[in-house]
Structure formats: C-alpha cells, structure tokens
Structure 1
Amino acid sequence: MADSPWIAILRGVRPDEVEAIGAVLVEMGIRVIEVPLNSPDPFESIARLSRRYGDRALIGAGTVMGEADVARVADAGGQIIVTPHADLAVVLAAKSRGLLIVPGFFTPTEAFAMLRAGVDALKLFPAEAGGPAMLRAIRAVLPAGTMVLPVGGVDPDNVAAWMAAGAAGFGIGSAIYSQGDTAAEVGAKAAKIIAEFKQR
C-alpha cells in the first residue's frame, strides 16, 4: 500500500481483455489487481494476470465467499483474497495457503475478530454507507498500524476525505473499470484517480 495505495477491482472483466487492462494498470503503478469471482471465468483471468504480471503486482480475487474458492484462487496463481464479509473460515483457508487476506467488515466487533485471526488488512464495506466519519471513529480504537481500505463509492471526488480520515488505501471499482471498458478507458480513469491522490 505504501507504493500503490489502490486496489483495482475489475468486476465483470473477461479473460480475453484482462491482460491488456492489466498492462495499463501495472504501467501506471497500480500494483494490486482484484478480479471478483462474479466475473466471467474469473479463475482464468486470475491465471492470465498472474502469469504475466505476478512478479510486478499482487493478483487475486474479490467477492470470495468460501474455502473452496480460496483453493481455486491459489491454484490459479493468485496471491491475495478479498471478501465482502468477515468470515473466519475463509481467513483461515487463505492463511493456510500462504495468501494475503483482506476481509470485509462494517462493525468494530467484526474488525477486532478479523484482526485476532491474523488478517493482513481490513476492508471497510460498503464504505459509502458509513463515510469517512465512520472510518475516522473506528481508527481511534483500532491498533496502531492497522490498514483499513474503504471499498464502495470511492472516486476522485472523495479520495481526499478518505485520506484525511486515515485510509491506508482504496478499493476502486467502477471509477477505474466498468464492464466493457477498453484498456485506454481504464488508463484514463486511473490517471484521474492518481492525479487526485497526488494533489492531496
């Protein structure tokens, strides 16, 4: 996150387009790429990204709901698991395969349970429902150094507010990729987000 505070969420991406999109993102310095498992043939997309960019970026899966999917992501070469929920079984499965794990949470109870399980970072989701004020409040009680990544509704217009509230990074979906976007369109969106971040 220190080098690349953005997680590019490629929901809906197809295997035949994912490498070109990945090339643009990696070239622009975005070093974490997530393929949600409700995308077309997500494990093939993860495998293609991992083969081509796995030495330069963290490639993994989002919307991971069960232990079996963790195994399939690992077998495809994925390195990071992101969930929408606080699921201990998924966390333990990811750690057992040596993968990074970033579970979703929305309450302090969920956050502390996940931290006790040894997660690598926390995903505040859905972030737009709580807003930066919620993140600021919960950071006051979380252990120092806890990485919290807001996901859901993050865009160039509110990046500064999230940063001020203590976000360690951002999961960015439609503001960086919408189903059907070309690699050039993804590059233009990413450039806007990066420029906004650097201005703050």
Structure 2
Amino acid sequence: MTEPALSPLNALNLYGLIAILRGVLPHEASAIGQVLYDEGFRLIEVPLNSPEPLQSIQTLSTCLPADCLVGAGTVLAPEQVIPLRKAGGRLIVMPHCDPAVIRAAKAAGLVAIPGVATPTEAFAALAAGADALKLFPAEQLGPSTLKAWRAVLHPSTALLPVGGITPGHLADFVAAGASGFGLGSALYTPGLDAAEVAARARDFMAAWKQAHSPRRKRQKTDTAHPGAANSQ
C-alpha cells in the first residue's frame, strides 16, 4: 500500500530524527535510504558537498514512499534552492542563518531549517520564515544552552541539535527541550554498508523512544520535585 504524503510540518512534528547522508554516492542512496525508512526515519538530507548530491536526492525522493521528506543540507545560497526542488527535494537544511536562503526556500514551498548558534540568529531566522532551528554545533552549545533558549523562544519552536549527537547523550538534549536531531557521522559515514547503517539507525531510534518513555518523564518530574514520589 502506498503511504500518504505528509505535509512538511507534520513530518517534522511526527519524526524528529533527520538522517544526514554526507558523502553518500548516488548508486548507494537507494539501499541506504530504504534501511533508514524501514527503521523509522522519515527525514533524510543529502548535504550539497556530497558527490552528485542532486542525483542522490532524486533517487531517494523517487524510491522512498511519499511520507518520507527528502532534501539537502549545507545549502549556502538562494540559487541552490530551485535545482533542489526540481530534483524532488522538499527540505533545506543550512549550517548558517541567511535570511535570503530561508526566504528562497519558503517561496519555493520547501521546509527551511537554518543553523543558528545565538538567540539573535534564532530570532532572525524565525522572522525570515524558518520552520525549525538547527542548533549547530550542538556539541559546543550543549543541553544547558538549549534549555536557556527554551525560556525565551515560543514554545512551538522546533529546536534540532546537530553536531556530535550520539545515542548515549541524546536523552540529555531531549530533557532540555530538543524537538529532534540531525544525525551525522554517528549514523552514517562514507563507505558504510546498508546493514551497518540499519544497526546504527536502530540504536538511535531506541534512544529516541527511551528518551520519550513515560517512565523517564516520571523520573524527570520526581527529580525536579523530590518530595513528589514520597507523597503518593
């Protein structure tokens, strides 16, 4: 049965993990994309500094069901937007905050996720029409920065840490308010076969689900209110 197409914002809300396939080759894209889809990923980006990225994006957008949002990362200039859309891309991820690129993406009907590292950049990106914010590099910013941003940004703002994310510390960012993640070298590096990518994808999905488990949420509440557990 053919899966129905998701609206871009629904895809972001329902599936918070973005697979970053930096360096993937066009002839590998189909097999890698299929195992990611099978493990539950519905957001995939191919950075434009990969070999023949538009060909890989076209392959992924053609071979995967319509409920998978495929696009490009490392989008640096407005003129890169239309070729991406023609290749079947629906998602633009940036390492920086350039309002001109954000506006070009939105004019083309694409999801725009710019990279931001300060509150000033965050608010500028949202004013330009960004659909979500990529906290980059997350390994330098850390969960404490994300938590502080949550105090000033609108609660509906999607915050996606990217850079150095592993299954082991994903939960710390979720507890601080992360809406999802961009997953790079810990998920995929050039040369990995589909079986290894699938195994890594399973680890990330397990960590993502664990971070959202009711038990963990109760533990977080009890930690914040030590007397709560004893008052039952």
Query: Match of 1:197, as an amino acid?
Result: W
What residue in structure 2 maps to residue 129 of structure 1? 140
What residue in structure 2 maps to residue 195 of structure 1? 206
2:178 matches 1:167 = yes
Structure number with larger C-alpha Rg: 2
2:50 to 31, 34, 39: 39
2:19 matches 1:13 = no
Q: Using CA pairs below 8 Å that are at least 6 residues apart, which structure has the higher relative contact order?
A: 1
Q: 1:65 to 1:54 in 2, by over 3 A?
A: farther
Partners of 1:157 and 1:91 lie apart in 2 by: 32
**Does the 8 Å contact 1:128/1:152 carry over to 2?**
yes
Aligned pair count reads: 200
Partners of 1:54 and 1:33 lie apart in 2 by: 12
What residue in structure 1 maps to residue 219 of structure 2? none
Alignment of 1:131-150 (within 5 A): 131-150=142-161
Deviation at 1:52, TM superposition (A): 1.4
Q: What SS does structure 2 have at the residue aligned with 1:123?
A: strand
Partners of 2:34 and 2:84 lie apart in 1 by: 20
Deviation at 1:2, TM superposition (A): 3.6
Deviation at 1:3, TM superposition (A): 2.5
**Does the 8 Å contact 1:64/1:82 carry over to 2?**
yes
**Does the 8 Å contact 1:13/1:179 carry over to 2?**
yes
1:27 to 8, 20, 38: 38
Q: What SS does structure 2 have at the residue aligned with 1:178?
A: coil
Residue deviations 1:93-122, cap 9 Å, x none?
A: 101100010000000100001111111000
Superposition CA RMSD, Å: 0.9
Deviation at 1:151, TM superposition (A): 0.2
Query: Match of 1:129, as an amino acid?
Result: Q
What residue in structure 1 maps to residue 92 of structure 2? 81
Deviation at 1:67, TM superposition (A): 1.1
What residue in structure 2 maps to residue 155 of structure 1? 166
**Does the 8 Å contact 2:113/2:130 carry over to 1?**
yes
Q: What SS does structure 2 have at the residue aligned with 1:146?
A: coil
**Does the 8 Å contact 1:4/1:32 carry over to 2?**
yes
Query: Match of 2:197, as an amino acid?
Result: V
What residue in structure 1 maps to residue 110 of structure 2? 99
Query: Match of 1:194, as an amino acid?
Result: M
Q: What SS does structure 2 have at the residue aligned with 1:86?
A: coil
**Does the 8 Å contact 1:26/1:56 carry over to 2?**
no
Q: TM-score, normalised by structure 1?
A: 0.98
Query: Match of 2:141, as an amino acid?
Result: G
Deviation at 1:54, TM superposition (A): 5.2
After TM superposition, what 4+ stretches of structure 1 lie above 3 angstroms from structure 2? none
What residue in structure 1 maps to residue 75 of structure 2? 64
